Amino acid sequence: MQTQPLPHNDYAEMIAIGCLLEGYQPEHILAELVPDDFYGAANRIIFAAARDVAAVDAPVGLFTVIDRLRTDGNLEKVGGEAYLLRCAGQVVSTTQAEGAVWGVRDAALLRKGYMAATNAARELATPGKNATELIGGLQSELLKITARDREQTAVTAKEVMTATVADIDASRGRGEISGVATGFRLLDYWTGGLQKGELIILAARPSMGKTSLMMDVVRHATLNGTHAYVFSLEMAARQLGLRLVCSEAMIDSHRVRTGRIDDGERARLAQAAAKLSACKLHVNDSANDLAEIVAAVKREREYTPLGLICVDYLGLIYNRHLRAENRNIEIGMMTRQLKALAKEIDVPVLCLSQLSRVNEAAKDKRPTLNALRESGNIEQDADTVLFIHSDDYYDREAEAGAQRTEWRSDLIIAKQRNGPTEDIPLIFKRQYTRFFPVDAVRQPAQVPDWYHN
């Protein structure tokens, strides 16, 4: 019985190799493809040799690639000089490079998709298997294939240093803000903003204002042109919308909900809503599975660049494909995947989390890293950990029947992988579900030596 060959495109592979040998757009071809994209073993070897030539800063062409193949003992394996000359002879114009790249990559995607589907079909036909897990696994695998995940692709020291110097030059004259500005001057000062590729955990006890602070950041970022994607697992999109518009208009949200606003306040709310409507903001209140969150982000990225991802909150995420021994291990798996998502999409991921009661029995209720609920991996995977703490909040609870509408809070930078730890004073005005800086102009004359932290 003859085995059906896997999807491939011999002509596109020959043209891609020929373009490399003729020096037609070699940088583009080497950046867009990897050896495994080629079906033919000879073509994989030749492509890898061309990549090795480029890595030592030599010009990629017929003679340099032949010399590399000969040095590696692979020239005869690929059919000798005759095969390379035949590939080069197929190319007549530099414009063929783009089509060849598309043809090779498309065939590679078909091949990988076919193999993933074939393996899934075999598993689905096996009695006793869990259909939901298998179908979800296939969806994740296909999504990874189509996203052309290159997290394991190594880069040279030259590429790393070139990108690093470019980042340094780009940051000159920009002040201390190198990431997404939060709107809180001291937080931006100490962190440089929310940094691309980083996982930021914002944690607090219930009702301390986690969601309010997150939406303060979202409101400021989107009003300044950042495209934010918010996953709300706890509140409906309309509830978040009400919070946003009330905090922007500075109108008591309870009075809005109970219909006790006057004409002037109604006009201010309409003006705030119109202003916020122009923002690049998406709110997703239906995705609560981690795979759905990742898939939604990647789909959105196909249409428009993203600048900030927010998840409210970690404790409500589940993953039907994870079968861990306990919740701690599951949470650890999810924080690792959120960190991987931040790196892949190259945007900050701000994820909310609840704190345990570990410090509440003590006289000093100030939270510490060991209060992160359910998993020590949260601390390990996060690049930055922020806590909201308020002694006034606990004093308010101690006052029987007290209905204080605002209280003093501290935003604690408890961990920062690439910066100092610090306390930032804030005022939380509950009626607006909004935080305000206590001192917007206080700024240390000199950043202290934080390397001991």
Angle at 392 between CA 388 and CA 398, to 5 degrees: 120
Query: Strand, coil or helix: what is 67?
Result: helix
The residue count of the chain comes to 453
Token pair, residue 130, equals 């869990």
Name the pairing type of β-strands 406-416 and 384-389.
antiparallel
- In contact, 210 and 409? CB cutoff 8 Å: no
Dist. CA 420–CA 418, nearest whole Å: 7
- b/e 354-373 (16+ beta carbons within 10 angstroms → b): bbeeebeeeeebebeeebbb
The secondary element (H helix, E strand) that includes residue 358 is none
In angstroms, what CA-CA distances link 88 with 13, 35, 96?
Answer: 11, 18, 12
Dist. CA 138–CA 116, nearest whole Å: 7
- In contact, 353 and 202? CB cutoff 8 Å: yes
- In contact, 372 and 353? CB cutoff 8 Å: yes
**CA distance between the termini of the chain:** 67
Among the listed residues 439, 145, 140, 168, the one whose alpha carbon sits nearest the alpha carbon of residue 290 = 140
Token pair, residue 17, equals 């190799």
Q: Say if residue 451 is preceded by a cis peptide, omega within 30 of 0.
A: no
Per the residue annotation, which of 133, 141, 234, 379 is the catalytic one?
234
- In contact, 293 and 287? CB cutoff 8 Å: yes
- b/e 159-172 (16+ beta carbons within 10 angstroms → b): eeeeeeeeeeeeee
Asked if 344 is an active-site residue, the reply is no
- In contact, 186 and 437? CB cutoff 8 Å: yes
- Active-site residues, by number, are 234
